[in-house]
Amino acid sequence: MTVAANAVLRGTVGEMKNPYKIYLSSVTCMNLVKLDAALKKIVVPEGSKANYMLILAGKIYDHTSMEYMHTSRIEPSTAGNTCVLVGIEHFRGLSDHALAYRVSQVPGNLAAFA
């Protein structure tokens, strides 16, 4: 599946009001289920829109997790929610694919700013 890069980054941080700030360490296919379970605990009142801010503070995000973040239930297609990925510029994709495996380029632990 080919996805444009701007399809992953929806909206901008500046236009969000009271977002759910979700700080993430490394996400791979091996702990994606736990992320999904944690996100399902967020209860958004019916009829209201939610803003999600996924802050990437880990070292790696594999293709599976990138695709999950792209097509997960917090996508704005369902209830007009908005979602942005913060910190993705610190990661280097291992291919030209928009949802490719990404490795942190920043030495040390990005969780420091989380």
Partner 1 sequence: MVFWGSRRNTSFTYPANLFEHGIVFPHFAEAFSRPDLYWAFLLTIITLVLIDGTESLATIQAIDKIDPFKRKSDPNVTLRAMGVSNTASSLLGGLTIIPGGMKSTTNMLVGGRTLWANFYYACFQLIFLLFATTLINQIPKAAWQGCSYGSDGNCARTKSSSGSSRWARNRCLSPWSMSCDVMDLGPVGRHDRGHGDEDCLAREGCRTSVPRWVGAALKELFGNPVIRIGDGRGLVM
Map the footprint of partner 1 across residues 14-33, applying CB under 8 A: 20-33
Question: In whole angstroms, how close is the CB of 39 to partner 1 at the nearest point?
Answer: 8
Question: In whole angstroms, how close is the CB of 17 to partner 1 at the nearest point?
Answer: 14
SS3 state of residue 70: helix
Map the footprint of partner 1 across residues 46-75, applying CB under 8 A: 57-59, 62-64, 67-68, 71
Cα end-to-end distance, the chain, whole Å: 32
Please name every residue paired with 104 in a beta bridge, in sequence order, or none if there are none: 91
* Of the candidate residues 5, 13, 42, 94, the single one contacting partner 1 (CB under 8 A): 42
Contacts of 83 (CB under 8 A, 6+ apart): 10, 11, 51, 52, 53, 54, 69, 74, 75, 76
Question: In whole angstroms, how close is the CB of 14 to partner 1 at the nearest point?
Answer: 16
**What is the C-alpha separation between 68 and 71, in angstroms, rounded?**
5
Residues lying near partner 1 in the complex (CB under 8 A): 20-35, 38-39, 42, 57-59, 62-64, 67-68, 71, 111, 114
